[in-house]
């Protein structure tokens, strides 16, 4: 790998401290709250019939937060240090793949080990996990990991591209968003089309189709973001 590209990857992963901190604080806060509930439950305290959100779900916060910081803060910093846009483009793509891999791995382990342990205690009537909602767990941990990775990778690219759009075109993007929301609300065929796309990206029963769809959309969105690097206001 080109040293400049690898340097960009390291820069991205090292300088997103605020997203790291926010994600870690939220994750451990929810984990501590859950452990307190577990202690109360085991000591006979009635915590009521509850359906709780899996703590692993909160790790997903890192992906959009990191994408926003990388696109809005690391890019101008890199340009001011004399870096090349092409290196930022490739390096950021790799950065999102690494982040999605790490979060997917940890999230999958939490779901198949920790969440199962919590459910076995009888403390909750159920746990809300996107892995379960999307039925990514139906084919085992490996496929669940791959499906989660594909979606989170696409999510990072989506936020990256939108942040660059916002930085480059500002009020125009906001105006287009308002128009799109209005059209979405008022037009049934568009709502149906959006639902169908979302279903493929999240709920499609064929895991390979879901994975390929997410990765393909990520590649298309990221290709679209490249020209935006030359319109970015530094």
pLDDT tens for residues 115-167?
A: 999 888 888 888 888 898 999 998 999 999 999 999 999 999 999 998 888 76
Which of 49-53, 63-67, 156-160 bottoms out in mean pLDDT, i.e. has the lowest? Answer: 49-53
Taking each helix axis as running N to C, give the angle between helix 141-169 and helix 62-69, from 0 to 180 degrees, rounded to the nearest 10. Answer: 30
| Mean pLDDT score of the chain | 84
Give the pLDDT confidence score for residue 114 in this predicted structure: 93
pLDDT (average), residues 184-213: 80
Helix (H) or strand (E) holding 100: helix 85-109
Q: In this model, does residue 211 exceed pLDDT 90?
A: yes
Nearest to 63 by CA among 147, 151, 170: 151
CA distances from 120 to 113, 114, 115, 127 (A): 11, 10, 9, 11
What secondary structure letter does DSSP report for 203? I
What is d(CA 145, CA 2) in angstroms, rounded to the nearest whole number?
29
Residue 86: exposed, middle, or buried by beta-carbon count in 10 A (0-12, 13-18, 19+)?
middle
Give the pLDDT confidence score for residue 184 in this predicted structure: 53
Give the pLDDT confidence score for residue 87 in this predicted structure: 86
Tokens 């009537």 -> residue: 125
How many residues are there in the chain?
A: 234
- List all residues 6 or more positions away from 144 whose beta carbon is below 8 Å from its beta carbon: 108, 111, 112, 131, 136, 137
pLDDT (average), residues 15-33: 94
Which of 4-13, 30-39, 74-83 bottoms out in mean pLDDT, i.e. has the lowest? Answer: 74-83
3-class SS at 122? coil
pLDDT > 70 in the chain, percent: 85
pLDDT (average), residues 32-43: 87
- Residue 175's pLDDT band, with cuts at 50, 70 and 90, is low
Residue 201: exposed, middle, or buried by beta-carbon count in 10 A (0-12, 13-18, 19+)?
middle
Beta bridge partners of 126: 51
Nearest to 161 by CA among 102, 76, 218: 218
- Residue 3's pLDDT band, with cuts at 50, 70 and 90, is confident
Paired tokens of 225: 């973001």
Paired tokens of 133: 């909602």
pLDDT (average), residues 106-110: 96
Nearest to 133 by CA among 125, 117, 144, 121: 144
pLDDT (average), residues 105-122: 91
Give the pLDDT confidence score for residue 188 in this predicted structure: 63
Give the pLDDT confidence score for residue 171 in this predicted structure: 46
Give the pLDDT confidence score for residue 80 in this predicted structure: 75
- Residue 49's pLDDT band, with cuts at 50, 70 and 90, is low
Give the pLDDT confidence score for residue 232 in this predicted structure: 56
pLDDT > 90 in the chain, percent: 44
């Amino acid at each position: 790998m080109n040293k400049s590209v690898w340097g960009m990857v390291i820069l991205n992963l090292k300088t997103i401290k605020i997203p790291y901190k926010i994600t870690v604080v939220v994750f451990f806060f929810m984990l501590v709250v859950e452990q307190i509930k577990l202690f109360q439950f085991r000591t006979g305290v009635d915590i009521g019939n509850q359906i709780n959100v899996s703590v692993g779900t909160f790790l997903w916060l890192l992906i959009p937060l990191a994408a926003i910081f990388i696109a809005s803060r690391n890019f101008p910093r890199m340009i001011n240090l004399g870096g090349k846009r092409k290196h930022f483009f490739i390096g950021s793509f790799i950065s999102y793949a690494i982040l999605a891999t790490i979060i997917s791995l940890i999230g999958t382990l939490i779901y198949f080990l920790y969440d199962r342990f919590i459910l076995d205690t009888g403390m909750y009537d159920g746990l809300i996990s996107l892995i379960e909602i999307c039925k990514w767990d139906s084919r085992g941990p490996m496929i669940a990991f791959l499906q989660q990775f594909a979606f989170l990778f696409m999510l990072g690219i989506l936020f990256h591209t939108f942040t660059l759009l916002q930085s480059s075109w500002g009020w125009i993007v906001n105006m287009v968003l308002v128009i799109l929301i209005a059209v979405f609300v008022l037009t049934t065929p568009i709502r149906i089309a959006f639902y169908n796309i979302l279903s493929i990206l999240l709920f499609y029963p064929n895991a390979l189709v879901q994975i390929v769809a997410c990765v393909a959309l990520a590649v298309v969105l990221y290709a679209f973001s490249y020209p935006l690097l030359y319109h970015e206001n530094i």
